[in-house]
């Protein structure tokens, strides 16, 4: 049976001394702050991209693991972001240190897999072993023989990223079932214009490409990214007061219920 591809970390480093940001956080929240941060790190390092979701049930679960209320967790999270101990992104909560460690480990794994499969190929050429036997880690050597073009730090890499990502944004922008679903949560927001804003101001720029390029994922499915981004006020394009909502008209014309 193929071995599944490894994601996330099995353990994470805990320094014997903390920096000033962590010391400040602990001086405010003491034991509760320490326990909560440990639980946060556990969730972050289990993730292949180092990002923790704290909205809805996910936030409730983390608060329960840390033996605190959801209200206290929200207060601590606000402080951690204010101290730049953590940061809020389009996709969730993370930190620069977490991202660097996971990226480093992911790169090391990818290089190890490339070396492994190249070694298998060399041995296969020498012994004329059939390609069907050169399998492990749940994939063939072709997947790891080279880094996808859009993840390469080149002008061509950025162009390839745009070629792949832009149609995904357009697809969701014109998916009225998706828009209707978002309208239930954001009735006063123009969803299409908000998606356009996210693309034009971040995800369609080199900064957005760098964010995705440096992540450990090779998946460019944007649905969750847009859903998370929609909850952030800076991405929301509000419908002017008193004006009709053109998206509601378009949704109803298609027979879609809201």
pLDDT digit of tens for each residue in the chain (258 aa)? 344 455 566 667 777 778 899 999 999 999 999 999 999 988 888 877 788 888 888 889 999 999 999 999 999 999 999 999 998 887 789 888 887 787 776 666 666 666 666 666 666 555 544 444 444 444 444 444 467 888 888 888 899 999 989 998 899 999 999 999 998 888 899 999 999 999 999 999 998 898 888 877 767 778 888 888 888 888 899 998 888 899 998 998 888 887
| Angle, helices 155-173/191-198, rounded to nearest 10 degrees | 170
Buried b (16+ CB within 10 A) or exposed e, 209-221: bebbbbbbeeeee
- Beta-sheet strands, E only, within the chain: 87-88, 93-94
State the pTM of this model.
Answer: 0.47
């Amino acid at each position: 049976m193929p071995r599944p591809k490894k994601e996330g970390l099995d353990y994470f480093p805990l320094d014997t001394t903390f920096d000033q940001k962590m010391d400040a956080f602990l001086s405010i929240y003491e034991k509760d702050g320490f326990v909560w941060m440990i639980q946060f790190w556990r969730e972050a390092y289990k993730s292949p991209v180092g990002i923790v979701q704290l909205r809805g049930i996910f936030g409730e679960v983390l608060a329960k693991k840390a033996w605190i209320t959801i209200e206290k967790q929200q207060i601590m999270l606000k402080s951690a972001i204010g101290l730049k101990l953590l940061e809020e992104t389009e996709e969730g909560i993370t930190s620069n240190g977490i991202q660097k460690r996971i990226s480093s480990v992911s790169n090391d794994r990818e290089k190890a897999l490339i070396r492994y499969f190249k070694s298998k190929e060399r041995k296969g050429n020498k012994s004329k072993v059939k390609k069907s036997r050169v399998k492990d880690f749940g994939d063939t050597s072709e997947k790891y023989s080279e880094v996808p073009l859009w993840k390469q730090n080149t002008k061509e890499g950025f162009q390839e990223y745009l070629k792949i990502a832009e149609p995904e944004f357009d697809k969701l922008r014109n998916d009225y079932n998706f828009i209707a679903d978002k309208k239930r949560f954001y009735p006063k927001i123009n969803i299409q214009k908000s998606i356009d804003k996210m693309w034009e101001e971040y995800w369609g720029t080199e900064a957005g490409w760098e964010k995705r390029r440096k992540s450990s994922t090779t998946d460019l499915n944007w649905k969750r990214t847009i859903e998370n981004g929609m909850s952030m006020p800076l991405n929301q394009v509000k419908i002017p007061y008193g004006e009709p909502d053109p998206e509601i008209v378009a949704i109803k014309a298609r027979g879609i219920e809201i």
